[in-house]
Amino acid sequence: MSIAVTTQIICFTVLSLVIVIGALGVVLLESIVYSAFLLGGVFMSVAGLYLLLNASFVAAAQVLVYVGAVNVLIIFAIMLVNKKEDLKPINDIKSRRIISTSICLTLLSLLIRVDLTNVWSLSSPQNSIGEESTIRIGEHLFSDYLLPFEVASVLLLMAMIGAIVLARRDVMSKDISTGLPVDQELIEKSSEPLLTKKN
Amino acid sequence: MEYGLDLEYSFNEFLKGFGLSSEIAHIIWLPLPMLLVLVAAVVGVLVTVWLERKISAAAQQRIGPEYAGALGVLQPIADGLKLLVKEDIIPAKADGILFTAGPILVLVPVILSWLIVPFGQNLLISNVGIGIFLWIALSSIQPIGLLMSGYASNNKYSLLGGLRAAAQSISYEIPLALSVLAIVLMTNSLSTIDIVNQQSGAGILSWNIWRQPVGFIVFWICALAECERLPFDLPEAEEELVAGYQTEYAGMKFALFYLGSYINLILSALLVSILYLGGWGFPIPVELIANFLNLPINSPFIQVFTASIGIVMTVLKAYLLVFIAILLRWTTPRVRIDQLLDLGWKFLLPISLANLLITAGLKLAFPQFFGG
């Protein structure tokens, strides 16, 4: 076995272990902050797997989008609203767990089916394009994948406008959740009075 | 343009002379450029710290460090040694794991980005195809480290500093990437080598700064903001936040932040010189000098001359920019956090978008000047 192949196998093992253990940690850990940071680690390891597959552009895009944008925003949101509070016990926790387990198992079986039915091997290893893939991805995005690409951008625009409308209460005359008229004076003022009158 | 010294090839041939296989020779070769670049980065930091002390002293009409070595050149080493031997303190109510991992996550992406910094045609660690995009992707990891250390310190100033750092870094990354995109559009390649070669046609006249003046200014402002240098050092504004996310850190962990910020400053200066100031290119094309001296371009003398002048030019341009950054730090006041975010989102972002659009239009109109 050559040194390059050995290195690849070691890298693949380490990355897969990090992904599996990290993903389990994201779901099972009690602390939401740890989950968020572990999620970043999982995203990084996925980028590492792309790198092993010679897809360097996809790997860098994965780091930029998932780690640099998505994960940072998740952590940001957690830290802005990080309140220590005792959660109320849920009554029908058992049935909820059964439903979520069955949904996850269905998804897993779907993925296993895709794995088994798809033909993974390339016709020849010479077909891999390596560094040229950046150009090839660009060509595909602006030709046969143009519609999904544009639809995704419209979706993101809608989400952005929605977020702005929700965040800037001065553009709405009524509070969405309570239906009360909104105080237009200070945007950053809390919608509920801090000291509730007792009478 | 495929000329230049190929040190890797000659080194491998040299080792094969001792009867080693090419794979073993390659493995022995691999760590050498990495170590060299790491040493170069650390020495660069020492020089920058010394410059910072001396220039700030001059700006405030003081003398600055004087006794450690001639003109105080050993002062940065004394600083480093002091930090190295200080006690490593983790606050009692801090989160130990995240507290330790934070500074590492800040430093490692910055050092990894040196992978793509070229000092000459073949003088870089790896000419990866995604080149400059790798730097943009890696620099987006840093905010996680800042948030992590801010949160783990269990201190409100640290948390606010970490949040500010992340907000600043996210908002300035977009105009930064857009101005890089305009350069990439002109080069037709993401590789830093190609970006420099595209500017090497007519010496100083063909540098990107003449074709991308707006991009240059936007990039420089964003790079300063990414490095958290004054006027953009809101995350550690000492009047408001003590020292931001660094407040609870001491000893070597603090030194990692310190090292990271200075390596990032040098890296940004190097990248500005690569993207806009012709990289390793001499203001007068080397071909003209070779013709003037009646020497063929492949002669050993011209080759060694090109390589050494390349390193000197890259470092010189980078340190000129570092000098400007230090001067800015000691002469400008700090902006407010709302002004900072306004500048990023309402001014730099539209300008860099317009710059990208105009570059694309000019590329279609004058393909010979703006890359075909």
pLDDT in tens, B146-199: 888 888 888 888 888 888 888 888 888 889 989 999 888 888 888 888 888 888
Which pLDDT value is given to residue B7? 67
**Mean predicted confidence (pLDDT) in A141-161:** 91
Phi, psi at B13, each rounded to 5°: -65, -40
pLDDT at A97 over 80: yes
- Kindly tell me if the per-residue pLDDT of A83 is higher than 70: no
Q: Residue A29: its chain B contacts at CB < 8 A?
A: none
Q: What is the mean pLDDT of chain A?
A: 80
Among B30, B97, B134, B187, most A C-beta atoms within 10 A, so best to mutate, is B134
Higher per-residue confidence, B339 vs A107: A107
B306 Cα to chain A: minimum distance (Å): 28
b/e map B58-85, b = 16+ CB within 10 Å:
eeeeeebbeeeeeebebbbeebbeebee
Predicted pLDDT of residue A183 = 57
Give residue for tokens 């001639």: B70
Given pLDDT bands bounded at 50, 70 and 90, which one contains residue A96? confident
Give the pLDDT of residue B143. Answer: 87
Mean pLDDT by 10 residues, chain B (372 residues): 56 74 76 82 88 88 82 83 85 83 89 84 74 88 88 84 84 89 86 82 78 89 84 72 79 86 90 86 75 73 78 88 89 82 87 91 82 61
For residue A184, what pLDDT band results from cuts at 50, 70 and 90?
Answer: low
Of A3, A37, A60, the CB nearest to B137: A60
Closest residue in B to A57 (Cα–Cα): B130
SS3 label, residue B119: coil
Burial A145-177 (b: 16+ CB within 10 A, else e): eeeeeeeeeeeeeeeeeeeeeeeebeeeeeeee
d(CA B276, CA A106): 53
Does the distance separating the beta carbons of B163 and A80 come in below 8 Å? Answer: yes
Asked whether the beta carbons of residue B147 and residue A76 sit closer than 8 angstroms, the reply is yes
Q: Which residue of A has its CA nearest to B150?
A: A79
Please give the pLDDT value at position A182.
Answer: 59
CB–CB contacts below 8 A, A to B: 72
| pLDDT score for B1 | 32
Question: What pLDDT was estimated at residue B2?
Answer: 39
Helix runs in A53-195, H state only: 56-62, 72-80, 93-117, 133-141, 146-167
Nearest by CB to B130, which of A60, A69, A75?
Answer: A60
Whether the Cβ atoms of residue B65 and residue B72 lie closer than 8 Å to each other: yes
- Out of B129, B133, B147, name the one closest to residue A75 (CB): B147
A chain contacts of residue B136, beta-carbon cutoff 8 Å: 60, 64
Distance in Å, alpha carbon of A57 to nearest chain B alpha carbon: 6
| Chain A residues lying within 8 Å of B141, measured CB to CB | 44, 63, 67-68
Q: What is the pLDDT at residue A187?
A: 47
Residue B229: partners with Cβ closer than 8 Å, 6 or more residues away: B265, B325, B328, B329
For the residues A96-112, what does the mean pLDDT come to?
Answer: 92
Chain A residues in contact with B137 (beta carbon < 8 A): 60-61, 63-64, 68
Nearest to A63 among B141, B159, B162 (CB): B141
Say what the pTM is.
Answer: 0.82
Q: Does B104 touch chain A (CB under 8 A)?
A: no
Chain B interface test: which of A5, A62, A63 (most B C-beta within 10 Å) = A63
Which pLDDT score is estimated for B4? Answer: 45
B158 contacts in chain A (CB < 8 Å): none
Interface membership of B170 toward A (CB under 8 Å) = yes
CA distance B354 to A143: 25
Q: Is residue B235 reached through a cis peptide bond, with omega within 30 degrees of 0 on the bond before it?
A: no
The pLDDT, as a whole number, for residue A107 is 95
Q: Could you tell me which of B266, B131, B112 has the C-alpha nearest to residue B192?
A: B131
Per-residue pLDDT of B28-40, as tens digits, reads 777 887 888 888 8
In chain A, what is the straight-line distance between the N-terminal and C-terminal CA atoms, in Å?
82
